[in-house]
Structure 1
Amino acid sequence: MRVFLGLVALATSCAVAVPSAFKTKEEIYAPRGWVKKTRPAPDHSIALRIGLPQPNFSLLEKQLYEVSDPDHERYGQHLSKEEVEDLVSPHPQSLNAVDEWLAGFGLGEKDLVRSPAKDWVIITVPVSVAEDMLDTKYHVWEHTESGDQLVRTTSYRLPSHLHEHIEVIQPTTMFGRFKGYKSTIYNIEEIPEVTTQQASAKAASFNALSGVTVDPSCNTTVTISCLKQLYNAVGYEASPDPRNSIGITGYLEQFANIQDLQSFYAEQRPDALNSTFDFIPIKGGLNNQTLSEAGAEANLDVQFAFGVSHPIPATFFSTAGRPPFKPDLITTSNTNEPYGDWVDFVLGMKNPPLTISTSYGDDEQTVPEAYARRVCASFAQLGARGVSLLFSSGDNGVGDGNSNPATQKCITNDGKNTTQFIPAFPASCPYVTAVGGTAHIPEVAVSRFFSGGGFSNYFPRPLYQEIAVRKYLKNLPKGTYKGLFNPAGRAYPDVSALSDRYRIWLSGRPVLIGGTSASSPAVAGFVALLNDARFKAHKKSLGFLNPLLYTYGLPGFNDITSGNNAGCGTTGFNATAGWDPVTGLGTPNFFKLKSIVTSPFTIL
């Protein structure tokens, strides 16, 4: 019997190893605006990310919604790192098939980097080897508008027996440019001086939306004090509870400068002076503290997220990789998808920050659907573990991020050249909270750099937003923008906040900056405060926010009903009563939300 079983095992192993004919795995049309240039050098290195199937992801998703649904008995009972990994681990057959395929190219365990759940395998190989493995040819592609360059192919193939064991391989067909969402930075001469006394002066203007009074200076310069006044958080004192935490992601060689942070604290949050944040580098991420190298994006995110949430423990992640890639004699590695590296690292942390804000993204159509789904699934893993993920919704209204919103063409990349609104990713992922932008007091949807919003073409509308979005669509005049958006898609943003004229310190001087890259970290700061309130009430962290926000959380938002998000040569969608694809559910009213999340759930 043992001999028989041994022969069966050997035969099975041999069957897996038998080469099979190549079959196309993915093929796309050359994206609009990209031109094929030269062939890369054969020894140019590519870090291939190989995604193996997650056969039990549907069970993970089910448990994510159970622990995030305030009506479910499991609400707040978040999963452990190990429990999540068990749910997304690939079948042993897939691991074996991929390992044997890689071994055929001389790649062994020492050459592989695996994600915590082993559902991703990362290998770094010369482009010549990648071409043999994928039966393809890479080229250097140039973006005609910006001059950015990428090493990419428009199709790749795999042995047919591997198709059931590999979901996606990148970088292959991904032409995303991974942008930070920020708008104009004003000159220092244009900024009125703000002192601590002025910033905390007694408010003098009533805001009917939130029912609170706000200093009139907040219409021209946004400070921490303005946000706390406007969003009804004045007087709330957080604690440095080690169970709580907040994190900011940094990319594109964006450095959060500590000297600038101290100047910001001295001006706007003097009780935070001499406090700082934990710095975590990922894949060689740097921490350049040269004042002139301070990053506007990083400084904005850190100063307001940590300023609003002080003294909650804070972390800044610096992930290496500066997309898009420019091939030259110095840079020999193609490292243009750093958020994959970031999410792998954070999933490997035993205790990741409980609230994390990211102010970067791509046009959804530039991220191949299979890859977008896998990245989105990684966010679901973090949500199941009790992490609240917030992403900026983008700054180009319903249009793409490649041109002036007033002149956008908004053409699809599917070869049909169809005119269509262009959603943003990762904001379109249903497992994250997308944050749009407002301006002025009383608040309206921003009209100068357009709050990103719309409907995903990849992800269907999740159940948690069915009622709110269906109501919006029902009230939309019949035929409005027919064919320009997918009414059945995941709708975003979910919430919003002020996103214009934030006063930060940058390279030793104060400047004003705006964008949904301002509203996302600001909202993250308030979410961290809500977690503080829940811990004080002996409750768990909020985790994935959206199922709560669209139900019991509704009374905790100021409904924004004016403004629109122009783009693609249109005025875009309008802000209106209830949820809308410009400002979502509205802007937060902290003390109302605090009452909701610390009491037995009831519709207030």
Structure 2
Amino acid sequence: QRMRAAFVIAFVLLICGSLAHWPSYWAPDSRSPANHQVSFTLALKLRNLEAFNDLWERITTPGSPEYRQYRPMEELTSMIAPPAAEQEFVLTYLRNHGCFATSFGDFITAEGPVSAVEAIFGAEYHAFRHEKHDVVLHRSIEYPTIPSALSHIVSFVTGISNFPHERKQTRKVSTEEVLDDTSTWVVPQTIRNLYNIPAGTSNTVRNNSMAVVEFGVVAGISQSDLSEFMELTDGPSNASLAYTVGNFAFTPISPIDGESTLDVQYIMAVGVGVPTSFWTINGWMYDFTTEVQTRQSRGNPVPLVFSMSYGWAEADQCDVTHNGVSCAQFGGSDTSYVQATSANFQKLGMTGITLLCSSGDAGAASKENLNCNSDPPIQPNFPASSPYITTVGGTMLQDGGSPLTGTLPPFCTEQGVTCAGGGVEIVSSIPEALITSGGGFSNIFDQPSYQSSAVSSWQNSGALEPPAQYWNSQGRGYPDVAGLAHQYMVVEKGEKLGVDGTSASCPVTAGIIALINGNRLASGLQPLGFINTALYSMNQSSFNDVTIGNNTGTEANSSPDCFTYGYGASPGWDPCTGLGTPNYQAWNSYFLNN
């Protein structure tokens, strides 16, 4: 029996309108006290985006005189933020209504008593208690309405009625059951072999940094799990987090979960020695980007590389609960939310930060259509579909690959365990794996010039395509690259588990990028920042090309109606595994010279 656990991508609720109900795992306890302090963020309407996008092209295009000439966040924000007078108008309005507010240019953070916030936005706050964790959130059961006096300046508001999404439970098995599995396992040595990372490769500079990002009310890891994992895989014995951001739990019990565990154990096992932080965001992608900017403005440390194993359907960023309510009462739309978030992705890239996200675990159909019976049958994920982020798909080893040889780490010497040492990578897909690599084309973002040639080659390759009415051939194609996403060994709550997911390939790729960043910094070079334009400029030999498979399936136990619509792999780029998987030494050589 194959004993594995599949990680699924987690999501947040950001919706507008009137709440007919709330998430089942949150129970209303009582009306919030009128004097209880609550916080929220106002996204302001952007301007000068044409000039802003032109600067983006100059800073991120290889060969440009301004390539990697990063800008201070204040300069970037001033380009697109509303005039100072409009910012001050909003601040004065909020202060006059009893709130404390701070402007960061294109967004405003605010805090005030429940009574004041209810009066401003037509809200009705209640205390909600989580059914599993001892956590209370104060949220409105009425969706906020932007005051008419502010509607010409404010695009939308977060933090008033949105709930963090519940994490799906991973399938867990006992240590004895896992060790009876006869399949091959992925350990850090597997990754080093496949991706050409020399033994002993580690970070050598103190000013390098990387992070994993989790979305939820609280998240964390177990130090004992991390230490045991490193011991079982011959990793560094002193591995520990540099710092944490948000509601972090450092405990061997709930709310520790597989997502956090996988992210931290493998980004640190690959990016050996790179100072690593753990970020918990009580919101969604826009809230993540504002948290980074807030910390930058206050002089707090911000990592150079972020790994995010999360996403949701591009068209439904404000409708994650499927209640049919649009973002209209936030003064925006799903598209405006996506575009505002992507503008912030651009700002982070233009300060030298590299953002990576997973492509999804449900194939071309996406998480919202696991049974492949929705119309349309396929749809893109966000932030995977953003052209301003590097998206990572998933692979698996054909027939389990070949066994790991040489000096084996302790886990690989245990009875019944065979660790993978190499082999041919194919698209990760069910039923062999528990997940199918996400991939497709954006319906919001145009295809960026940096990938047009690669996408055209795929379209002319004869690879599997969905019917024309179901996808946008002129949209941004994703993923950009890929990595192993099947049968990773992790230690969670003292148990050795097998896990699948692009939640694995993303932190692995982030760890590789962080190592290269360290080499650049040691050579007196700038950090990599946005890397897509460079990736598509490399020779195809810089990647392990993945040419077998497709992403017509979704996740394990999905409907037999699947396997109809999706995309096929081909030589070169494809919407299953992007350009391929990393060749560390080729990437490192390229980035040290370009």
One-letter code aligned to 1:259: S
Task: Please report how far the alpha carbon of residue 583 of structure 1 lies from its aligned counterpart in structure 2 after TM superposition.
Answer: 0.7
Q: Partners in 2 of 1:579 and 1:474 — Cα distance?
A: 12
Name the SS for the 2:154 alignment partner: coil
Larger mean Cα displacement after TM superposition, 427-436 or 245-254: 245-254
Tell me what 1:591 maps to: 585
Q: Deviations 1:462-512 (Å, cap 9, x if unpaired)?
A: 222222223323445798422222222222111110011111111122111
Task: Please report how far the alpha carbon of residue 79 of structure 1 lies from its aligned counterpart in structure 2 after TM superposition.
Answer: 1.8
Choose the corresponding residue for 1:257, options 222, 226, 230.
222
Q: Deviations 1:296-327 (Å, cap 9, x if unpaired)?
A: 111111111011111122222234x3x7xxxx
Q: Partners in 1 of 2:243 and 2:465 — Cα distance?
A: 50
Q: Is contact 1:156–1:172 with CA below 8 Å preserved after alignment?
A: no
Q: Partners in 2 of 1:351 and 1:58 — Cα distance?
A: 30
Tell me what 2:278 maps to: 316
Tell me what 2:390 maps to: 433
Q: Is contact 2:42–2:156 with CA below 8 Å preserved after alignment?
A: yes
Choose the corresponding residue for 1:299, options 231, 252, 261.
261
The reply on whether 1:266 has 2:223 as its aligned counterpart is no
Q: Partners in 2 of 1:81 and 1:42 — Cα distance?
A: 40
Name the SS for the 1:93 alignment partner: helix
Q: Partners in 1 of 2:570 and 2:465 — Cα distance?
A: 18
Tell me what 1:540 maps to: 526
Task: Please report how far the alpha carbon of residue 575 of structure 1 lies from its aligned counterpart in structure 2 after TM superposition.
Answer: 1.3
Q: Is contact 2:122–2:144 with CA below 8 Å preserved after alignment?
A: no
Tell me what 2:44 maps to: 52
Identity across the alignment (%): 27
The reply on whether 1:275 has 2:239 as its aligned counterpart is yes
Distance 1:443 1:309, change over 3 A: same
The reply on whether 1:400 has 2:366 as its aligned counterpart is yes
The reply on whether 1:375 has 2:341 as its aligned counterpart is yes
Q: Partners in 2 of 1:455 and 1:139 — Cα distance?
A: 40
Q: Partners in 2 of 1:382 and 1:336 — Cα distance?
A: 13
Q: Which TM-score applies when normalising by structure 1?
A: 0.75
Task: Please report how far the alpha carbon of residue 359 of structure 1 lies from its aligned counterpart in structure 2 after TM superposition.
Answer: 1.1
Name the SS for the 1:532 alignment partner: helix
Tell me what 2:177 maps to: 190
The reply on whether 1:286 has 2:255 as its aligned counterpart is no
Q: Partners in 2 of 1:84 and 1:341 — Cα distance?
A: 14
Task: Please report how far the alpha carbon of residue 522 of structure 1 lies from its aligned counterpart in structure 2 after TM superposition.
Answer: 0.4
The reply on whether 1:230 has 2:194 as its aligned counterpart is yes
Q: Deviations 1:118-169 (Å, cap 9, x if unpaired)?
A: 321233467776565446899999xxxxxxx98566784542x634322222
Task: Please report how far the alpha carbon of residue 445 of structure 1 lies from its aligned counterpart in structure 2 after TM superposition.
Answer: 0.7
Tell me what 1:442 maps to: 424
Q: Partners in 2 of 1:435 and 1:262 — Cα distance?
A: 27
Tell me what 1:424 maps to: 381
Q: Give runs of aligned pairs for residues 445-594 of structure 1, distance below 5 A.
A: 445-448=427-430, 449-475=435-461, 480-552=466-538, 554-566=540-552, 567=554, 569=562, 570-594=564-588
Q: Partners in 2 of 1:176 and 1:462 — Cα distance?
A: 32
Q: Deviations 1:212-246 (Å, cap 9, x if unpaired)?
A: xxxxx9x7100110000001112362333012111
Q: Partners in 2 of 1:179 and 1:572 — Cα distance?
A: 26
Q: Deviations 1:248-273 (Å, cap 9, x if unpaired)?
A: 12333221211111111112134x10
Structure 2 unaligned segments of length 5 or more: list them. 1-14, 129-136, 318-333, 398-422, 555-560
Give the count of matched residue pairs. 512
Distance 1:54 1:178, change over 3 A: farther
One-letter code aligned to 2:501: G
Task: Please report how far the alpha carbon of residue 450 of structure 1 lies from its aligned counterpart in structure 2 after TM superposition.
Answer: 0.7
Q: Deviations 1:343-399 (Å, cap 9, x if unpaired)?
A: 444544555211110112222222122122222222211111111111111111122
Task: Please report how far the alpha carbon of residue 555 of structure 1 lies from its aligned counterpart in structure 2 after TM superposition.
Answer: 3.2
Distance 1:64 1:352, change over 3 A: farther
Q: Which TM-score applies when normalising by structure 2?
A: 0.76
Q: Partners in 2 of 1:488 and 1:31 — Cα distance?
A: 38
Larger mean Cα displacement after TM superposition, 119-128 or 456-465: 119-128
Q: Partners in 2 of 1:165 and 1:360 — Cα distance?
A: 30
Distance 1:437 1:302, change over 3 A: same
- Larger RCO (alpha carbons 8 Å, 6+ apart): 2
Q: Is contact 1:179–1:361 with CA below 8 Å preserved after alignment?
A: no
Q: Partners in 2 of 1:34 and 1:223 — Cα distance?
A: 37
Q: Partners in 1 of 2:39 and 2:96 — Cα distance?
A: 18
| RMSD after superposition | 3.7
Structure 1 unaligned segments of length 5 or more: list them. 1-25, 142-148, 195-216, 324-334, 411-417
Distance 1:560 1:127, change over 3 A: farther
Q: Partners in 1 of 2:209 and 2:481 — Cα distance?
A: 21
Name the SS for the 2:393 alignment partner: strand
Q: Is contact 2:223–2:250 with CA below 8 Å preserved after alignment?
A: no
Q: Give runs of aligned pairs for residues 123-138 of structure 1, distance below 5 A.
A: 123-124=110-111, 133-134=120-121
Q: Give runs of aligned pairs for residues 379-394 of structure 1, distance below 5 A.
A: 379-394=345-360
Q: Give runs of aligned pairs for residues 71-220 of structure 1, distance below 5 A.
A: 71-103=63-95, 105-107=97-99, 111-114=100-103, 117-124=104-111, 133-134=120-121, 156=145, 158-159=147-148, 162-170=150-158, 177=165, 184-192=171-179, 220=184
Q: Is contact 1:553–1:593 with CA below 8 Å preserved after alignment?
A: no
Larger mean Cα displacement after TM superposition, 55-64 or 387-396: 55-64
Q: Partners in 2 of 1:124 and 1:432 — Cα distance?
A: 31
